[in-house]
Chain A
Amino acid sequence: MDGMDIDKLARLAGLHLEETERRRLAPQLEEITRFCSGLPATPGQTSVDPGDAAHAENEGQVVRPLDRRIVRENLPHPDGDLIIAPSPLPETDAS
């Protein structure tokens, strides 16, 4: 997957992959990623290549996309914050 280490990805996602699962998932993810990489850039968008030096220091950071307000108001629990468990992803939510 563009040089991506699936074990590192699994660690970021809070998953542990057994060897058989890893062998099955890795080629599938490569194929899916290739499929999705065909999305055309929209004029004005900056293109950043994987492994770009400018991003090397942030490698492994995952910026979570969701407006927390929207998430909080749709939690399956009326007390909201109670079930915002500590995330297995690094807490770098820009919102």
Chain B
Amino acid sequence: MFEKKFLEDLKNRKADWDRQAEKLRATKSRPKFITVSGEEIKELYTPEDIAGLDYEQKIGWPGVYPYTRGVHHTMYRSRYWTMRQFSGMGTPRQTNERYHYLLKNGQTGLSVAFDLPTLMGYDSDHTRSLGEVGKCGVAVDSLADMEIIFDGINLGEVSTSMTINAPASVLLAMYLGVAEKQGVPFNKLRGTLQNDILKEYIAQKEWIYPPEPSIRLITDMMAFCTEHVPQWNTISISGYHIREAGSTAAQELAFTLADGFCYIEAAIKDGQDVDAFAPRLSFFFNAHQDFFEEIAKYRAARRIFARRMKEKYKAKQERSWLLRFHTQTAGCSLTAQQPENNIMRTAFEGLSAVLGGTQSLHTNSMDETLALPSEKAVLIALRTQQIIAHETGVTNTIDPLAGSYFVEALTDKMEADAEAYLDEIEKRGGVLKGIEDGYFQREIANAAYRYQREIERKERIIVGINDYIMDDEKIDIPILKIDETVEKDQCAFVKKVRAGRDNDKVKRTLEELVTAAKGKGNTLAAMLECVRVYATEGEICDALKPVFGEYVEPPII
């Protein structure tokens, strides 16, 4: 990138500077200069650090292979990222009210948070659901609940993301059911399903069936959507939870990409054309506190993905090479102490996602280490994004940090570290083998422990946790409480639904689903028939358990 002569002169001048700086190095503001991931950072980056970098090959142009600078030619000058707050709590009606509130205040997409029973495929009145109904998100048992959640919201006009994995097909089927009731054709529907089961085994741990049948459900869905729901992003391959579980940035990047390639290989093996499904794969990353490390991660992610899609999987369409991603700021970076400080943390994290070229963003609310967000907290979080978009000026130009000696060197390092992990995973026999052996789980747990020890040794200062502590602190923000009546109401509602439907039809459609699952039928198409007659989520998931089996994780510590 630089003339040889220039670099030689630079070396000499750097040596001069180095001699002068040496005298001052005895004084240190902190014991170690490391990223959140524990990576050592140099005191200074210069043209030497990017001397070998070929602009066209490594950095290039926005919207042009290898997309280091972004997936669109014009990025935020044409359209801001989608401001999408992950949200859901209590009953479907309460959640519907929250959605109307967010849309009224300028949110541009919906993102549904389901409660744990829904995520695990249990109805609200199942014994396992006791105490969990409506707590971490909204409770959904049948199409009747989804009709309420989207009441007064035209599914042809909004894009909806649903964080659901093991029972993702069931919830997509219900969403399709609502669209039918609203008279919106499937090809008008826009949105994303998380549907990333591999990271469940690795990090988030909400599974039902073992990996192989779970991947079958996913490839069925991909095939169904290619034909009927062409604008729907079928999988959001997620690093977010891997990072929240304690991984480093490079692990998040590598494990997520490895999962993505595993789905791609499964669909190719299923006989699907890579260019038919790849354009609808999307990614989901974490935005942690280390500003530049995160930006480097997003830039490296695009480059690695584009290269593999083109060279390894032989995708021919440019749209298949694009790594598009959603970002959520790091829940694990927030503190329960002095929770108002979380507003600042989230703002910096959101800014890194924007500088990294995200397609959509969720900014956490300040109270999320204490409870689900209050209306006040979620509004500040949304306003944070609007301030980044409209006031900071960072959206005036595309990829403004490109060419920074530090950012380019860090992007290269991130790419190399992730590639090394990808090689290691391959050497160990691939993603499924790694899950089975507990490789990912152990790597993440070790990183989490190292991070905790750094905090306890004060090698890493977290404001309000191990320094700047306020004695006798009183929490002075409103805290949302999910009323215990939610569980009772929801249990009564699902019982009413079961009593009021045609149970012969339910039985027949469930049997047809089992037949499809045992054979080669499309399971999503069969589930659509089940939800239309108000079969519940628990009934549908249970019907498949004898066919697919259930997953049990060996305890790994």
A binds B: no
A residues sitting closer than 8 Å to B (CB atoms) are none
B residues sitting closer than 8 Å to A (CB atoms) are none
